[in-house]
Structure 1
């Protein structure tokens, strides 16, 4: 007892008062000792043996776990990849050139995580969750690990709700459902990113959130995408995760996993989400670079043996949850770049086997100005009509077969062979099908507009219209689509679909809209007949 405490004691203090005073004093001493011991808690501190090209070799961390976060100086982070007996191979997530051999490192006791939640909507961040848009810090207390197990099969529901892309050729022939994984592949500069951005733009007002993940892209390309999203007011429901091409390979590696955790948080809250990975070719190359630097055994094309697992564990997280788990969905649109139209290469075949279908963009179509350059013959949706509105099946059920027959006949006719009248009609009709499926960038079509155009194609209303007049004729249909009765609009959007009477009403509307563009059949076929008569004739 201190002298000050002794002086404050009353002269009539009892033994109970003295005992309480002593107990209080010993309690304070015990708490101070406990706090002191907490400050002296042992920590594992190691040091860098070697550092180069985004990978560091560290010693002195005997209890570190796989994929544990490692702290370096100046706030730099790393992920423990190779756990050897005497050293640890660490993938660095930042400016690795600032580190040198001998620098101290420390365990964190946790795995890599990112902030999630509504505070991220409209923001541009890096894979670490740090803002890149100069819009202030991100206010969010909830964080999720970037690597999470995929939902169990029993927690999932069938994919039955359509995801409208606003792109006619996809919604009609290659439908995508909410919770599906649809691969977009093609050579460079064929419009793969534009296809994904159009899908994001079309989600405005549909209560669907979007996550765009740029992996290894040029800064100018990413800035253009962000500008397009802002121009069409799509950033308000979109999160952009960016790992530029100049970033360390570690950031490119974790980028899609971090973006998926952000999307999963929305899905688990009962929301519908679309995530775009642009592109997984760069992701696979970044992982190959890290694996070779870590001296892991290379396999085919120098990729490590677990390259398939790299993408399968990522895309398996995209699903449609059942009602017991909120009913949310995560639709994945991974992008893959092919070389010389070779879809049988190593990484493309891996992704094709993982996903639920693919959309192939042909450079030949792109050069001919057929945009979007979707090759219908090589594209497929393994969910198909199960995730398509019934109205589409009514007006476009045979469209894919018709288009395939046209392409075969068109290829045959290019050799200068004569075709009979019936075959010529198939070619003429197919040319108008192709023209009707062409669409400018960032001009999504509503469901009613698509149904009206596809119905006109099915009924052959475009067959008597010159190809040069097709754009104006289609524009006339778009104006007429605003006059569709509300009951028919509701039925188009519903599960029930449209009846025969309603279909005939739409046909009558389309005929009236296209009447002024129709010319006689002789005027259309005469140039083609002259071409046939001259076919095979050598010039003088």
Structure 2
């Protein structure tokens, strides 16, 4: 022990001296837009997420930086007082000057990072991005703060996603299972039930221990109030925080509300817990990016000393390598920006506590399907002259465009939907079935890239088989040579019964054990003799009978999340008894 101490006290041990000096950077405002400002002259050490203060009293956060050190700041208030040319202060907490015998003096700058309150007392509350309740200036959740724009966890900090997060939404849990730490995009055109689906996912976390955060972006206060009323009726506000940026909020406030909701979930994750963050909806991210591109386009391309354009010039024609692909420079920049949010979802490594943040972002739009509506053709009208046919064709094309425009009103472009789908760990695509008015999940366009790892064991085999059978039915209907063939009709009938079995009333999540029982009954032929419209009634009778006559099997499935041989036998016996009761002889 004495020898060890002597080694530590040798004279060649480095001596250090530290000196702290306060500094402030002054930048020049080049452009002010809707919720953002373009700034020149900030220190190039200032990181994304750095807190900015304008001399007018407005505040912002550094969001984007070009290689020529022109920055884009997201404005969080007081935007009407900012003028072009006015100075912006990037407050530097300190300069830490370290002097040692070998390296000489070095300087490390430490910046004020924009932080938001994320404390546990935010549960049960409706707040804005600064933790303030509507109509007040009092901050809640101040027992803990976290960066508004935190970096996504690196690969070494992550663990493989292999644990299910059951939502209680049958179509979601069966067709596109959600794993803890996964980012699953929820998309579909307007009025396809996206909000109802994600709210049911919150209700499904009752007594699960999962902390929920719901970001209500661009909704009316009436819609936010209705959502909160639903969550309170179902005792879900006890574990839920609603972060609202209602209609009329600036672009900066909407983006900040999204980031604040994720920051709250990150605190839960980093403390070893599990959080579910829902962003409703994600179109604000697209608006922010469009603001970035429009603002920076007015400043011209970035050039090096020889006048050559650089990669971050957002040139549509210039190709760069990104994630092993050759893509347009602008697309690579956009993808990197979208990823900065989506990839904050993660399952942390066990050495970091094994916590998780699961993300369900909502986006109004439709993915590409490889096919489009058949274009109208006026050539079939042979009795018309060439001029008349041309006029009719133009009218038909205009009508088709108007119809598509009406259907896609309020939706983002398909290209952007595809971009988010490729970044996320999967997507659930909602569609409204023609004639039925029923909202359903498109089993072919919806996929979880986590695969069967995201299924609870009790559901895995049954759900995979059902997905296969639904895909077969769609292919048979689309490519079958004889749609009236018995096999094709049988597959189509089963698909209709399956869709009816997966449908559910909004506001009533279905626990895992009941989903397993319903799926087992479906694949055992329990619904084969009834019309799809009668399937919900028959499955309700089946579940009620199970609860009454054999509740133990449901309790065992819930406790073990396994479908054992004994459980299968019990379910089969129950199905036989109920089928006998429905027999015409009775």
Check whether TM > 0.5.
yes
| Residue 403 (structure 1) aligns with | 470
User: More deviation in 162-171 or 95-104?
Assistant: 95-104
User: Is this contact kept in 1: 2:31–2:295, CA < 8 A?
Assistant: no
| Residue 517 (structure 2) aligns with | 452
**Alignment CA distance shift 1:384-1:73 (3 Å):** same
For the residues of structure 2 that align with 1:205 and 1:135, how far apart are their CA atoms?
32
User: Which protein has the bigger strand share?
Assistant: 2
Deviations 1:73-97 (A, max 9, x none): 6753112455898986543212412
| Residue 195 (structure 2) aligns with | 193
For the residues of structure 2 that align with 1:272 and 1:366, how far apart are their CA atoms?
38
| Residue 354 (structure 1) aligns with | 423
For the residues of structure 2 that align with 1:184 and 1:514, how far apart are their CA atoms?
37
| Residue 378 (structure 1) aligns with | 445
User: Is this contact kept in 1: 2:59–2:78, CA < 8 A?
Assistant: no
For the residues of structure 1 that align with 2:283 and 2:189, how far apart are their CA atoms?
11
**Alignment CA distance shift 1:361-1:61 (3 Å):** closer
Q: CA RMSD in A?
A: 3.4
- Structure 1 residue 342: deviation in Å? 6.3
Aligned: 1:369 with 2:437: yes
| Residue 79 (structure 1) aligns with | 61
User: Is this contact kept in 2: 1:162–1:177, CA < 8 A?
Assistant: yes
Deviations 1:121-157 (A, max 9, x none): 1222222333327595314242111222222323322
Aligned: 1:492 with 2:557: yes
Aligned match of 2:229 in 203, 210, 227?
Answer: 227
**Alignment CA distance shift 1:219-1:58 (3 Å):** same
Give me the TM-score of the superposition, normalised by structure 2: 0.72
**Alignment CA distance shift 1:154-1:424 (3 Å):** same
User: Is this contact kept in 2: 1:164–1:202, CA < 8 A?
Assistant: yes
User: More deviation in 346-355 or 221-230?
Assistant: 221-230
| Residue 169 (structure 1) aligns with | 171
Aligned: 1:428 with 2:430: no
Aligned: 1:55 with 2:36: yes
Deviations 1:86-120 (A, max 9, x none): 98654321241244568665333312111112011
- 1:79 is paired with a residue whose SS is strand
For the residues of structure 2 that align with 1:328 and 1:360, how far apart are their CA atoms?
28
| Residue 65 (structure 1) aligns with | 46
For the residues of structure 2 that align with 1:95 and 1:367, how far apart are their CA atoms?
50
**Alignment CA distance shift 1:47-1:264 (3 Å):** same
User: Which protein has the bigger helix share?
Assistant: 1
For the residues of structure 2 that align with 1:404 and 1:210, how far apart are their CA atoms?
33
- Structure 1 residue 319: deviation in Å? 1.4
- Structure 1 residue 410: deviation in Å? 4.6
For the residues of structure 1 that align with 2:339 and 2:23, how far apart are their CA atoms?
39
| Residue 324 (structure 1) aligns with | 351
For the residues of structure 2 that align with 1:164 and 1:503, how far apart are their CA atoms?
21
- Structure 1 residue 271: deviation in Å? 0.8
For the residues of structure 1 that align with 2:30 and 2:155, how far apart are their CA atoms?
44
| Residue 527 (structure 2) aligns with | 462
Deviations 1:274-326 (A, max 9, x none): 11122222311223124423446555699775211112122222111232211
Aligned match of 1:313 in 340, 344, 349?
Answer: 340
- Structure 1 residue 58: deviation in Å? 5.9
User: More deviation in 289-298 or 181-190?
Assistant: 289-298
- Structure 1 residue 491: deviation in Å? 4.0
For the residues of structure 2 that align with 1:161 and 1:58, how far apart are their CA atoms?
44
Pairing of 1:37-186 with structure 2 (within 5 A): 51-56=32-37, 65-67=46-48, 68-72=50-54, 75-80=57-62, 81=64, 90-100=73-83, 105-109=88-92, 110-132=112-134, 137-186=139-188
| Residue 471 (structure 1) aligns with | 536
Give me the TM-score of the superposition, normalised by structure 1: 0.78
Pair member with larger Rg: 1
- Structure 1 residue 71: deviation in Å? 1.9
- Structure 1 residue 329: deviation in Å? 0.9
For the residues of structure 1 that align with 2:330 and 2:70, how far apart are their CA atoms?
24
User: Is this contact kept in 2: 1:212–1:276, CA < 8 A?
Assistant: yes
**Alignment CA distance shift 1:87-1:421 (3 Å):** closer
Aligned match of 1:442 in 507, 513, 517?
Answer: 507
User: Is this contact kept in 2: 1:200–1:234, CA < 8 A?
Assistant: yes
- 1:463 is paired with a residue whose SS is coil
Deviations 1:359-383 (A, max 9, x none): 11124x2763233x20011111122
- Structure 1 residue 405: deviation in Å? 2.6
Structure 2 segments unaligned to the other structure (5+ residues) = 1-19, 93-111, 300-312, 317-327, 371-412
